[in-house]
Amino acid sequence: MSVAEQKIDSNNNFEIHNSPDLNINNNETKINSQINFNYILIFSIFVVVIIAIIEILINCLGNNDDKNGFNNSIIAYYLIEEGDSDTLLFHSSYLKFIDNIKINDIERNIGSTVNFIPGKNKVEITFKNKLSSLEDLFLNCFSLNEINLFNLSSNEVTSTANMFRGCKNLENIMFDNFETNKINNISYMFSGCSKLTSIDLNAFKYDKIIDIQGLFDGCSGLRKINFGNFNTINVINMSKLFSGCNSLTEINFPSDTFFETREVIDMSYMFYNCINLESLNLNNFDTHNVIHMNNMFDNCKKIENLNLNSFETSSVEDMYFMFSGCKKLESLSLSFFTIKTKDMFGMFKDCENLKYLDISSFDTTSVEDMGEMFGHCTSLINIELSNFNVINVESMLGMFEKCENLISLNINYFYTQNLKEASYFVSNCKKLEQIDLFQFYTDKLVQYDNMFENLPSNTRFICKKEVFKIQSYNEKCD
């Protein structure tokens, strides 16, 4: 039997009438749809319940800190002097995250600045939720004197950059229970903490860290750093790491298992102005990826020896002022250095006691600036530069200025067709007996004042007038 009956009326209109069978099927479909809907509803409720249970479990796990005595707070002490006005407690950007503040155990209205009584004031800062970043938290809080991070939930924190930067009166930091598993950036964390005398990083786990630039920059009172198991395996930036650590006399790096440098690309200013640093053991340094070494040892006045045999420099592009101001350095062997840098300005400037320098491996084909490269190296008697290719050099400004003990300078292979600046080239080399300028072309030279100022009257110039065309000097050509 068909499920529908067809009929043509008197007007030839086509009609379809449901049969009894079709009605039965429709009823069954409605019943099945209702059952399916009920199943879907029950399943949806089940999923919602499961999600709610999971959230409860997560919250319970997340609240383990509370069960262990954590209340997501920081206890800090601020040292206030008579007449101090408003004191910065923390960076104002953190106001929205703070639940309450107690000052000397009395709850106060929340604000980033406050008037204290003179002396040492206790401040307890409680946060509403876990923080994902502590960046800039106490930036330039000049009165901060002591801080305890024991109760701070830090397991979600990814950055502590600038956390204590500029806290010039901070003397003590307690890192007990401070979790660092997710942190990847600690750049300038302690920068400018000039009253810190020691830092213990033994509890820190920094295997995800990539940036430690300026970590101890300007910590002028720092005498001891305990690296412990401080892991730098993924670090790419060590620029200014110890810059301005005036009180450090030595740095004991942990084994290469932890203090790794193989991924580092920037070591510029790394030990800059460490004026009391007497020795450095860098035997474990892997520098094959380093691009920037400018000012690396600049103004390390007391270092007498540097063993850089482990250095691989084929990627380095910047070496200007690298050893400048190493006043006690007497000998330096860089015969293993591979050079592709364009800038060597002031590389050995002010190395006053440097008597022996081996740079025989230097390929200087790409170098454009040699200004003041050996300026004020007052103890150098002789320097071997026969391997130097200066065809692309544009500046030799003060290159040998005030090399007072330099006796002879053989640079007859200096083919200077692109040289533009040579003022004070060998000025004040008071013992110079002979200088060979056989290929010293001056066609493009525009700055040459005082090139040979204060040389002995009997200094011999070996040059060709058709090459060395500076009229005021070429009469000296032998």
Q: Is 38 helix (H, G, I), strand (E, B) or coil?
A: helix
**Residues of the chain above pLDDT 70, percent:** 85
d(CA 419, CA 475): 21
Res 54: pLDDT:
67
Q: Specify the residue for token string 């690296």.
A: 227
Closest by alpha carbon to 217, among 273, 149, 135, 277? 273
**Confidence check: pLDDT of 405 > 90:** yes
Q: Walk across the sheet containing 408-410 and list its strands.
A: 408-410, 434-436, 460-462
**Confidence check: pLDDT of 248 > 50:** yes
**pLDDT tens digit sequence for 62-111:** 444 443 445 799 999 999 988 776 789 999 999 999 999 999 999 988 77
DSSP structure string for 316-367: --B-TTSSTT-TT--EEE-TT-----SB-TTTTTT-TT--EEE-TT---TT-
Mean pLDDT, rounded, for 235-247? 97
Res 11: pLDDT:
44
Res 15: pLDDT:
41
Residue 223 binned pLDDT confidence (cut-offs 50, 70, 90)? very high
Is 358 exposed, middle or buried (CB count within 10 Å of its CB: 0-12, 13-18, 19+)?
middle
Distances in Å between the Cα of 281 and the Cα atoms of 224, 250, 306, 371 are 16, 9, 8, 30
d(CA 409, CA 429): 10
